[in-house]
Amino acid sequence: MKNETPKTPAPWLSLVPLVVLTSLLYGVIRCFGGGAIDGGSQIALLSAASVCAMIAIGIYRCRWAVLEEAIVDNIRASASAIIILLLIGAIAGSWMVSGVVPTMIYYGLKILHPAFFLVATCLICAGVALMTGSSWTTIATIGVALMGIGRAMGFPEGWIAGAIISGAYFGDKLSLLSDTTVLASSTVGVEVFAHIRYMLYTTVPSMLIALAVFAIAGLSLDHGTESHAQLYADTLRATFRITPWLLAVPVVTGVLIARKLPALVTLFAAVVLACIAMLLAQPELVAKVAGVEELDFLARFKGVSMTCFGPTALETGNPQLDELVSTRGMAGMLNTVWLIVCAMCFGGAMTGSGMLRSLTDIFLRVVRRTFSAVASTVGAGLFFNLCTADQYISIILSGRLFKELYAARGLEARLLSRSVEDSATVCSVLIPWNSCGMTQATVLGVSTFVYMPYCIFNIVSPLMSLLVAAIGWKIRRR
């Protein structure tokens, strides 16, 4: 019987699909900017996967069944991540309309003081991003509000934007609700809670350094009025029923996380708790979402369901806060789900054709120690952010490229997922032509080159990852 095992593709030919992907993503970013995730990036991924398949079949006689099986296995492995993302969308809607997130923001604004404005700004954005799981939403909403407050106080806009972005990306990185966090852990095959816990060893020290810098800078710069913060706090109180009892929802969720329950169970419980809190604390808002004046059983069911699965928009009288309290629900996660499926197709084609292994073998010959493995991962995350201009693609490519290498070197998969997040996730906003950099510069009205030096957390994170790898802190071999 003829041996049908395909030959290993040459490294230079294995780079062709990556070059095609990079070129297509460049065009997508130029055409669609921050909307690249709405479909353009997915087309680029599928096109690059097709090029990979044509090379594998046409030149190396790889059977289509082998490629198809690898693609199906990849998509199957991402199924739990897709369900988690949908539940995250439900939490985003239910926690907002129930008043849980507005309560967090309200009490956060109450602690805002001019002498510690930059520190407070960073912490508030971190808290909001931690609760919402989205750095983009945090920056585009409360970040814009804090930008106006800081400008009114006379702070340089680079410092303000840097504090906002640092806090937002810290919270996003450690949030169970973050699509990038789920994507990084699922791409590498690490349980999301284990991934988040392991990130604490590099993320918390990086944040402490950032807070120290912001504290020193804040004390040395001019201060102004707190009237804007008070205005936003009053508007939230006028729109939502603010009560400390609502904080029981995140507290109970935190307890479930601490007890290491499965992510799906914890997230579903968080949705149920928020829906109960919504009916008890915000019945008027439930009626608005349902489009009725009086609540009966069906109206309650309709309002709660719409909050979880679809977009909601609540009027506060303040355009910036209107944007903050609007949610997209489970439907808002569909573009990310679509992106993951297309990325898994590309990754499956690269794996099944042997091209990913061909590229990995190059690193295997160079990478000998833990530090060089982490340094290569961090460098790859930065490189993919530069050439693909998209953090989602960077996360997927970095994770897939080094997964087998870490296994071959006996390194933990969670070390890989952490290294990917320390580079691909947090550094994307520092690159002007990256979708993150373009979006945040537009939203905040501050050039990427202006705020870049002040994004302390984003700059320190990859360096901290290298430092921890160099000293071997909490790093074990399998």
pLDDT tens digit at each of 478 positions of the chain: 344 445 778 888 888 988 888 888 778 877 876 677 678 878 888 998 899 999 988 888 888 888 888 888 877 766 776 787 788 778 878 888 888 878 877 776 676 677 788 998 899 889 888 876 778 767 766 776 677 667 656 688 899 999 999 999 999 898 877 878 888 888 888 888 889 999 999 999 999 999 999 999 988 876 555 566 677 778 888 888 888 898 888 888 778 766 767 767 877 888 899 999 998 988 888 888 888 877 778 888 888 888 888 888 777 777 766 766 777 788 877 877 787 788 778 878 887 888 877 876 776 677 778 888 898 889 888 887 776 656 777 788 788 878 878 887 788 889 999 999 999 889 988 977 666 776 677 667 787 788 999 999 999 999 999 999 888 887 776 6
Verify that 139 and 284 share a domain, yes or no: yes
Give pLDDT, residue 3.
45
Q: Does residue 88 lie within any of the structural domains?
A: yes
Q: Does residue 478 lie within any of the structural domains?
A: no
Verify that 419 and 298 share a domain, yes or no: no
59: how many CB neighbours lie within 10 A of its CB? Answer: 14
Give one word for 99, left, alpha or beta, with left for phi > 0 and alpha for psi -120 to 50. Answer: left
The residue written with tokens 């009027």 in the block is 315
Question: Of 58, 42, 36, 21, which is closest to residue 353 (Cα–Cα)?
Answer: 58
Q: Does residue 363 lie within any of the structural domains?
A: yes
Give pLDDT, residue 5.
46
**Boundary (domain end) residue, out of 314, 332, 350:** 332
Verify that 324 and 344 share a domain, yes or no: no
Q: Does residue 477 lie within any of the structural domains?
A: no
Give the separation between CA 378 and CA 460, rounded to whole angstroms.
Answer: 12
Q: Does residue 355 lie within any of the structural domains?
A: yes
Q: Does residue 189 lie within any of the structural domains?
A: yes
Structural domain that includes position 437? 11-76+336-471
Give the separation between CA 93 and CA 271, rounded to whole angstroms.
Answer: 9
Q: Does residue 6 lie within any of the structural domains?
A: no
Give pLDDT, residue 324.
65
**Boundary (domain end) residue, out of 287, 312, 332:** 332
Amino acid at 344: M
Verify that 303 and 370 share a domain, yes or no: no
Give pLDDT, residue 2.
43
Verify that 23 and 162 share a domain, yes or no: no
Verify that 204 and 346 share a domain, yes or no: no
Helix (H) or strand (E) holding 123: helix 117-132
Give the separation between CA 474 and CA 465, rounded to whole angstroms.
Answer: 12
Give pLDDT, residue 50.
92
Question: Of 348, 363, 350, which is closest to residue 402 (Cα–Cα)?
Answer: 363
Verify that 124 and 264 share a domain, yes or no: yes
Verify that 420 and 286 share a domain, yes or no: no
Give the separation between CA 89 and CA 110, rounded to whole angstroms.
Answer: 28
Verify that 192 and 323 share a domain, yes or no: yes
The residue written with tokens 């419980």 in the block is 269
Give the separation between CA 390 and CA 179, rounded to whole angstroms.
Answer: 14
Q: Does residue 2 lie within any of the structural domains?
A: no
CA 82 to chain centre: 14
**Boundary (domain end) residue, out of 332, 364, 387:** 332
Q: Quote the radius of gyration of the chain (alpha carbons, Å).
A: 23
Verify that 246 and 383 share a domain, yes or no: no
pTM of the predicted structure, to 2 decimals: 0.67
State the total domains in the chain. 2
Verify that 54 and 129 share a domain, yes or no: no
Yes or no: say if 217 and 442 are a contact pair by the CB < 8 Å rule: no
Question: Of 473, 429, 338, which is closest to residue 40 (Cα–Cα)?
Answer: 338
Give pLDDT, residue 214.
94
Give the separation between CA 56 and CA 10, rounded to whole angstroms.
Answer: 11
DSSP string of 265-323, one letter each residue: HHHHHHHHHHHHHHHHH-HHHHHHHHT-SS--HHHHHHHHHHHHHS-B----S-HHHHH
Query: Going by C-beta distance under 8 Å and a sequence separation of 6 or more, which residues neighbour residue 291?
Result: none
Give the separation between CA 292 and CA 389, rounded to whole angstroms.
Answer: 44
* 115-157: pLDDT as tens digits: 788 998 899 889 888 876 778 767 766 776 677 667 656 688 8
Amino acid at 205: P
Q: Is 332 helix (H, G, I), strand (E, B) or coil?
A: helix
Verify that 143 and 38 share a domain, yes or no: no
Give pLDDT, residue 404.
79
* 48-76: pLDDT as tens digits: 889 999 998 888 888 888 888 888 887 77
